[in-house]
Amino acid sequence: MVDVDAARGEEPLPPLGTLSARLNYLFDTIRPTPDEVSGSDEPNRRYTNKEIADKINAVSAESSVTISAAYIGELRRGIATDPRTSHVRALARAFDVDPAFFVDDKAARRIQEQIETLIELRRMDVKQVALRHLLADTGLSVTSALLVEQMIEQLRTVEEGRASDRPQVDPPSGAAG
């Protein structure tokens, strides 16, 4: 059986066997929105424990939940391993994920795959992602689909090279373009 991630040259999804692994995964992958960072902040940086605690504490009037940055750090290091349900819900809300991410293995894997897809969409041209899904639906093997993607990318490179090497010429009349 072919490992889809390895065949595509990607790292496999990290294991999420513990609460600390799941929490660290969120810290590693989810970034503050532009509204949450000031112009002087480094772009695409990770959240800090304090920022997540501040997000949770900012809505404590409606949720009745407060948390400290130190406690979040203990959860991330695996020192604290049995948080209250209200803390799990608050952490999920802060990262905008389903609380089941922290307690259900299937939900964690599903959410992890969704997060990875969103990251991929941001990183790549959306057209390439659509192509990848289209190729997956054709029944081609992962290896064949990857070859098709590589051929298309190579053709794009060749076409871009041709376009920059010579002046643009209108196609003859009646030619398909």
Instruction: Give the number of other CB atoms < 10 A from CB of residue 35.
Output: 5
What residues contact residue 16 under an 8 Å CB cut-off, 6+ apart?
22, 25, 105, 108, 109, 112
Predicted pLDDT at 52: 95
- The topology (CATH level 3) of 8-123 is 434 Repressor (Amino-terminal Domain) (1.10.260)
For each successive 10 residues of the chain (177 residues), what is the average pLDDT?
37 81 94 74 84 94 94 96 94 94 92 85 69 76 81 78 61 54
Q: Alpha-carbon distance 62 to 76, whole Å?
A: 25
Q: Alpha-carbon distance 142 to 24, whole Å?
A: 30
Predicted pLDDT at 98: 94
Predicted pLDDT at 131: 75
